[in-house]
Structure 1
Amino acid sequence: MRKKLRSLLLLCCLAVMQTTTAQTTVTSLSALQSAINNASPGDVIILANGTYTASTDISITKQGTAAQPITIKAQSVAGAIITGTGGFNISSPARYIVVQGFKFTHSANKAKTGSGTSFCRFTRNIFETPGNGENLTIAGSHHEIDYNTFQHKNALGRFLAIRGSGSQIAESLWIHHNYFLDQQPQSGNGIETLQFGLSGYSMSSSNSTVEYNLFEQCAGENEMISVKASAVTLRYNTIRDCPAQFTLRHGNKCKVYGNYFINTPGIRIFGDDHFIYSNHFESCNPAINIGNGDGEVADGSPLTCHDRPDRVLIAFNTLVNNTSNITQSGRSNGLGATYTNVAYNIIQGGSTAAQIAGPYTNPTWKGNIIYNTSAGAIPGGGYVTANPQVARDTTGTFHLQSGSPAIGAATSGYTDVKFDMDGQSRTLPLDAGADQVSTAAVTARILTPSMVGHNANSTPPVNQLVDITDNGGVITGQYPNTTKPAEDIPSLIDNNTATKYFRSGRTALWVQYKSTTPAAVTKYTLTSGNDVPGRDPKNWTLQGSNDTITWTSIDSRSNETFASRGLTKNYTCTNTTAYRYYRLNITSNNGDTGTQLAEWELFALQAGSMMATLDKEVPVNVYPNPTTGLFKVRLTDKKNKSYRLIVLDAKGHQVAATVLAADQTTLEANFNLTAMPGGMYFVQVSDGLHQTTRSVFKY
């Protein structure tokens, strides 16, 4: 009976929620404003494709709900263009508003959310607003800015500016998968690409996440990203070919990890208690710039000063081929930095590993690995000189190879270093540098324009079998008792059946492939030679390993025959473990002297992009259910992302909400509905791309 009652209540609630929504298509800005003024939760307002000239702002003060936001969208992405001198102005008490799919070419400083707004979203828009001022200004909290393109700015002002109210910076923002492209250099100050806060907000905590954004050719001024707030996480962003710098300018306790810096001036650090780890720097000048402070905010210096960096962790970063690596410039009467911990970084190439002008009080240097460069300012006990054995993979990043002295370098401490540059969790022992050797799913990489911005594919592509022998790995082999050398072992993976591998003699042999990244092979193919019969393999075993010491059998075959020359045969296996090494042990052939193969291919189930490892639905459990008021929401597989959890009543009104932040490993959130009336409630869990809704019944 209770189960039937719950089902009936759920159907009734869903019916109520569905019947209150409406979809309206308008063909003018006046009709758009009228529809917005009359909108109710759940309404969808569509502006037909075309170009519209706004002479005044389009004002939005309405309130949707978490279950039924008010959506204002273009008929197709970039199909509705708004030009002129007015733009979307979302002001208090607006909440749960979605602005989607527009191209904004109106004057700068016209797109904004104001103080007192909340839970609004700009998604799939193009911002190309001319003139001085910001392309988009965000105040208020819990907003989401995702999959937008900010492009072609040649004036004073920022692409994206984050503000607050009073001395409090905007809180719980989620800025992800945006494309920032082509910001031309200007004379003057205040031309950052992304300015997160102002000095007056810097002592307030934002608890916001900026992730998976791509910055290219942005050179507004010397600061490209300027953070002037506390407790901001910036991770897995790609900053490429930008002549301006990422600067922690004001504020404390920010986390900067898993970012890719390529051909930029790297990162400059002011403020206290920051964590800078698992970042990948290549061709930067410099890579990491430790600021030389001219004041100490904790002792009363003004918020506008260059606050002396204190207790900053700079650890587990990979720096390759940078003009200069870790630096601190001199400063007249400078206060320098104190208690900086520079540990377990890989520094390869460049004139020196570190150049420190000072003052530099009570630093810690530990476990750094340097190669093809001099130590410079690093004291003798703070580094070892060794080849870290990093190699570039198909994504363009340098990963650790088997036998690297970086593997397992840190056996204790550093509990705040939780993830590597691939988005994989770090567990003890920690590997030096930005890469932790792991078989876990890769969820981050150097971004390309196709992964971000208004045209990016937000639907995870279908997983497909990929030939990992095409990924730039290395093939080797052993062929004892040979009377002549093997004929070009690399030809086994050259996709050319005219070339062949030949081993003279009848004793056992093996060939081994080292993949650039671990992969779970579920299929492989063998192609027989195309000239001499009787030399194809007969009995063999396919094995996998991650250290070349312990090998696991994946597939065994016996009495196999190849009916014709140059024949390709497919073999499947049930392997689910990702290995970096695969070995084909051939124990006999079909009677003639030697073993001949033309091709060997290994296939693994891989995603079409880094986002494809995510489930289409966020896996969620709600318990106990039914409940007397107290219940938990558990994410059964938290994938190192930020998740927003919202509890709605039967009418779609939010009654509780929380966020599981990107850098938390927490899988559970607790909710208390004790003071709420009995009935059906709904739990929504969203990662920005996917959403799961679960019902919970309260007695």
Structure 2
Amino acid sequence: MSTKLYSLLVLLFVMPASITAATITVTSLAALQTAINNAVPGDIIILSNGTYTASTDITVNKQGTATSPITIQAQSIGGATIGGTNGFNIVSPARYIIIKGFRFTHSASQATMASGTSFCRWTRNIFQTPGTGENLLLNGNDHEVDYNTFQHKNALGRFIAVRGSGSQIAQRLHIHHNYFFDQQPQSGNGAETVQFGLSGLSLSSSNSIIEYNLFEECEGENEMISIKASAVTIRYNTIRNCPAQFTLRHGNWCKVYGNYFINTPGIRIFGDDHVIFSNHFENCSPAINIGNGDGEVANGDALTVHDRPDRCLIAFNTLVNNPANITQSGRTNGLGATNTTVANNIVQGGGAAASIAGPYTGAVWSGNIIYQTNGAGSMPSGGYTSVNPLLARNGTGTFHLQSGSPAIGTATGSYAAVTVDMDGQNRTSPFDKGADETSAAAVTAQILSTSMVGHNAGGQQACVPVSASADDGNVPGNVLDNDLNTRWSASGDGQWIQFCLSNAATVTGVQIAFYNGTSRTSTFDILTSSDGVGWTNSALGRVSSGTSLNPETFNISATTAKYVRIVGHGNSINAWNSYTEVRILSNATLAARVENEAGASSVLLNSFPNPFRNTGTVTYQLEKDGPVQLSLLDITGRQVRVLVNAQAKAGIHRLTFNAAQLPAGVYWLKFVHNGRTVTKQVVKADR
């Protein structure tokens, strides 16, 4: 064979491998199915924007690879709607498939994944599938479900249901940064928001992670998240304004930490060897409900019983203003719980610290702090101290320890399972009591807002306009309210207040108005950062004049930054750092102070009356159809109400919102539509 012919044959042999992967755009479901049937690793199949009606399954059984997945996506996020009676059906042996950017309005139970599938991903989709059944059914292993919006469910069934094969639950799933919103109550059983497993699967270990998800207004039934499997980690989720309860219903060895429970029934625990730590509970009734078992699986009782909780650890949680704190309800012939450890929790305000009605054999109570509760209740005297833990709400909306707190470094016992706090910071010995570990490490978890999760999220931690290391009740948002009569205050050398700009910009200095600025001088540093993790000392040892209550200007060398931190070193009289107003000198605005972002606030978004008292009316105009998110934020940029989260038609829209339970003050309406953001300041007047 000649060298030339040999070379040609080699070329013909290798050419297909180099040209097979392609980007294919289709304009019909039939063409989409054909492209899927012919897909090879690395293909990107794009369905053009539009509305499509599926009457048969869109079946996927192809295999991509870890480095060259097969991607099936909408032309733009939310731009391609698939309605009808059928949807995507991913079947064995499919693997490394990505489903991205679709709006699903087809019948429920039509987005499915079969046993034998693996390494598939659902991302940036909107699930609003009517009728009885699941919005998304997961079988198989190693799947990922991230940055999706699940919304407006008013029928039996779940937003997500996880199953398995035989007696083995699906393994190594990663469910994160999803938004679960508006699940209406049903009269029957089987309407959890997320049901992870079944009783027959409960003794199999999943080793899956559910994290950084936001749940709001979900009340399909009494159980919102129902875990019926073993070895599931549930962390850093926010559960807010959900009348249903998170339940460890069946299974063992689950970890629940770093979650934020706000105005919800909290967590109920059945099963063995669970660890519940570093969670933040506020206005929950109850916060932590230790189940009263009616059976013991380890002794041969059926997997369907309420398995008696044994050897569970409930430690390092912070509970504030909960009508009921740590509870166990009575049960006729109940087995109660055994060998539960309740240690190093902080319980402040609300009802009795503990109320235990059932058998509670071998319980250990140690190192807890209670303060201003309605008594200790069932908590034994040797298991707690009554002392002010010096908690204060910071810019993220959660209660953190202030300098000098008796909780700092005083935790009792040694608990290897407790590794991080509610901010995602590592715990270092000696541990602090409660959910917060005082630390200078980067904060990687906080109360979530809609800008951090769901199909429109940026995929990064949201920019909190102002936050602080601590406060004494004079919160950091006070420095942004244009009122010299309010202030942020924190005592101690090194306490800081931090600002996030809407984008990286040139920063040339700060303006600060100091509390009691005519009777004392204050010393401070100015730090800047591009990411809020690594910091540059832009100015050290600056000192106020001591002669003015008005803002004073402190210039620095021009630097590009997104974050600015002012670190206080007390004042000439005492250790307090206290500022009434702060402005960042920059060509960018603070994240929550943009009144005319996109230059169209007065045209697109209006609210009246303004100021309002208990209710206000919002009007907004859409130039074209698209998704709308409308939220009410407080002065710190913390979301306090979701007003709209839905697809809307072009035209003028009007709605009335109720804010009767909110305190008087300055708020922001944040309006997001088709990639455009507009905010408008509104004021709630005193009654």
Same fold per superposition (TM over 0.5): yes
Q: How far apart are the structure 2 equivalents of 1:559 and 1:164?
A: 64
Q: How far apart are the structure 2 equivalents of 1:491 and 1:132?
A: 45
Q: How far apart are the structure 2 equivalents of 1:331 and 1:64?
A: 52
Q: Over residues 44-76 of structure 1, what are the superposed CA-to-partner deviations in whole Å (9 max), with x where a residue is unaligned?
A: 111111111111111110000001100000011
* Corresponding position of 2:319: 319
**Relative to structure 1, is the Cα distance of residues 22 and 553 closer, same or farther in structure 2, using a 3 angstrom cutoff?**
closer
Matched, 1:59 2:44: no
SS at match of 1:451: coil
Q: Within 5 Å, which residues of 2 pair with 1:486-565?
A: 514-515=495-496, 525=510, 542=524, 555-556=540-541
Q: Over residues 556-590 of structure 1, what are the superposed CA-to-partner deviations in whole Å (9 max), with x where a residue is unaligned?
A: 4699999xx98734136999x99996126679xxx
CA contact (8 A) 1:474 1:514 kept: no
* Corresponding position of 1:413: 414
The offset of 1:296, in angstroms, is: 0.7
Q: Within 5 Å, which residues of 2 pair with 1:545-694?
A: 555-556=540-541, 568-571=553-556, 582-583=568-569
| Amino acid in structure 2 at the alignment position of 1:114 | A
Q: Over residues 257-285 of structure 1, what are the superposed CA-to-partner deviations in whole Å (9 max), with x where a residue is unaligned?
A: 00011111110000000000000101111
The offset of 1:181, in angstroms, is: 0.6
CA contact (8 A) 1:291 1:308 kept: yes
SS at match of 1:449: coil
* Corresponding position of 1:181: 181
| Residues paired across the two proteins, number | 547
Q: How far apart are the structure 2 equivalents of 1:102 and 1:17?
A: 30
* Corresponding position of 1:624: none
| Amino acid in structure 2 at the alignment position of 1:416 | A
The offset of 1:608, in angstroms, is: 7.1
Matched, 1:445 2:446: yes
Q: How far apart are the structure 2 equivalents of 1:492 and 1:282?
A: 22
SS at match of 2:30: helix
| Amino acid in structure 1 at the alignment position of 2:39 | A
SS at match of 1:36: helix
**Relative to structure 1, is the Cα distance of residues 496 and 472 closer, same or farther in structure 2, using a 3 angstrom cutoff?**
farther
CA contact (8 A) 2:126 2:148 kept: yes
* Corresponding position of 2:455: 454
Q: Within 5 Å, which residues of 2 pair with 1:252-267?
A: 252-267=252-267
**Relative to structure 1, is the Cα distance of residues 180 and 23 closer, same or farther in structure 2, using a 3 angstrom cutoff?**
same
Q: How far apart are the structure 1 equivalents of 2:225 and 2:275?
A: 17
Q: How far apart are the structure 1 equivalents of 2:172 and 2:143?
A: 7
SS at match of 2:451: helix
* Corresponding position of 1:303: 303
Matched, 1:133 2:133: yes
**Relative to structure 1, is the Cα distance of residues 355 and 578 closer, same or farther in structure 2, using a 3 angstrom cutoff?**
farther
The offset of 1:187, in angstroms, is: 1.0
| Amino acid in structure 1 at the alignment position of 2:431 | L
Matched, 1:352 2:352: yes
* Corresponding position of 2:159: 159
Q: Over residues 390-441 of structure 1, what are the superposed CA-to-partner deviations in whole Å (9 max), with x where a residue is unaligned?
A: 1111211111111111111215401210011111111111111111111100
CA contact (8 A) 2:402 2:471 kept: no
Q: Over residues 58-117 of structure 1, what are the superposed CA-to-partner deviations in whole Å (9 max), with x where a residue is unaligned?
A: 111000000110000001111111111111000000000000000111111110110000
* Corresponding position of 2:211: 211
Q: Over residues 435-484 of structure 1, what are the superposed CA-to-partner deviations in whole Å (9 max), with x where a residue is unaligned?
A: 111110001111111111111112578x89x7768x994699xxxxxxxx
**Relative to structure 1, is the Cα distance of residues 259 and 475 closer, same or farther in structure 2, using a 3 angstrom cutoff?**
closer
| Amino acid in structure 1 at the alignment position of 2:315 | A
CA contact (8 A) 1:238 1:446 kept: yes
RMSD (Å), alpha carbons:
4.0
* Corresponding position of 1:104: 104
Q: How far apart are the structure 1 equivalents of 2:372 and 2:541?
A: 45
| Amino acid in structure 2 at the alignment position of 1:443 | T
Identity percentage of aligned residues: 62
* Corresponding position of 1:662: none
| Amino acid in structure 2 at the alignment position of 1:582 | G
CA contact (8 A) 1:281 1:287 kept: yes
SS at match of 2:186: coil
Q: How far apart are the structure 1 equivalents of 2:134 and 2:522?
A: 65
* Corresponding position of 1:197: 197
Under a length normalisation based on structure 1, what TM-score does the superposition of the two structures give?
A: 0.71
* Corresponding position of 1:616: none
**Relative to structure 1, is the Cα distance of residues 350 and 138 closer, same or farther in structure 2, using a 3 angstrom cutoff?**
same
CA contact (8 A) 1:369 1:386 kept: yes
| Amino acid in structure 2 at the alignment position of 1:347 | V
Structure 1 residues without counterparts, runs of 5 or longer: 1-13, 477-489, 502-509, 530-534, 546-551, 588-596, 610-699
* Corresponding position of 1:230: 230
Which structure exhibits the higher relative contact order, with contacts defined as CA atoms closer than 8 Å and separated by 6 or more residues? 1
CA contact (8 A) 1:393 1:472 kept: yes
**Relative to structure 1, is the Cα distance of residues 600 and 213 closer, same or farther in structure 2, using a 3 angstrom cutoff?**
closer
| Amino acid in structure 2 at the alignment position of 1:79 | G
**Relative to structure 1, is the Cα distance of residues 338 and 95 closer, same or farther in structure 2, using a 3 angstrom cutoff?**
same
The offset of 1:19, in angstroms, is: 3.6
Q: How far apart are the structure 2 equivalents of 1:321 and 1:566?
A: 37
Q: How far apart are the structure 1 equivalents of 2:356 and 2:473?
A: 43
SS at match of 1:31: helix
The offset of 1:188, in angstroms, is: 1.2
The offset of 1:527, in angstroms, is: 6.7
**Relative to structure 1, is the Cα distance of residues 467 and 291 closer, same or farther in structure 2, using a 3 angstrom cutoff?**
closer
Q: How far apart are the structure 2 equivalents of 1:90 and 1:53?
A: 18
Q: How far apart are the structure 2 equivalents of 1:115 and 1:237?
A: 27
Q: How far apart are the structure 2 equivalents of 1:332 and 1:448?
A: 42
Greater mean alpha carbon deviation, residues 254-263 or residues 407-416: 407-416
Q: How far apart are the structure 2 equivalents of 1:151 and 1:349?
A: 34
CA contact (8 A) 1:474 1:515 kept: no
| Amino acid in structure 1 at the alignment position of 2:452 | M
CA contact (8 A) 1:213 1:237 kept: yes
The offset of 1:21, in angstroms, is: 1.3
* Corresponding position of 1:676: none
**Relative to structure 1, is the Cα distance of residues 315 and 42 closer, same or farther in structure 2, using a 3 angstrom cutoff?**
same
* Corresponding position of 1:118: 118
Matched, 1:399 2:381: no
CA contact (8 A) 1:439 1:579 kept: no
CA contact (8 A) 2:484 2:581 kept: no
CA contact (8 A) 1:395 1:446 kept: yes
Q: How far apart are the structure 1 equivalents of 2:449 and 2:185?
A: 23
Q: Over residues 655-694 of structure 1, what are the superposed CA-to-partner deviations in whole Å (9 max), with x where a residue is unaligned?
A: xxxxxxxxxxxxxxxxxxxxxxxxxxxxxxxxxxxxxxxx
Q: How far apart are the structure 2 equivalents of 1:49 and 1:518?
A: 39
Structure 2 residues without counterparts, runs of 5 or longer: 1-13, 501-506, 528-536, 574-578, 593-687
* Corresponding position of 1:364: 364
Q: How far apart are the structure 2 equivalents of 1:500 and 1:72?
A: 53
| Amino acid in structure 2 at the alignment position of 1:359 | P
Q: How far apart are the structure 2 equivalents of 1:569 and 1:369?
A: 42
CA contact (8 A) 2:339 2:363 kept: yes
Q: How far apart are the structure 2 equivalents of 1:406 and 1:280?
A: 15
| Amino acid in structure 2 at the alignment position of 1:311 | R
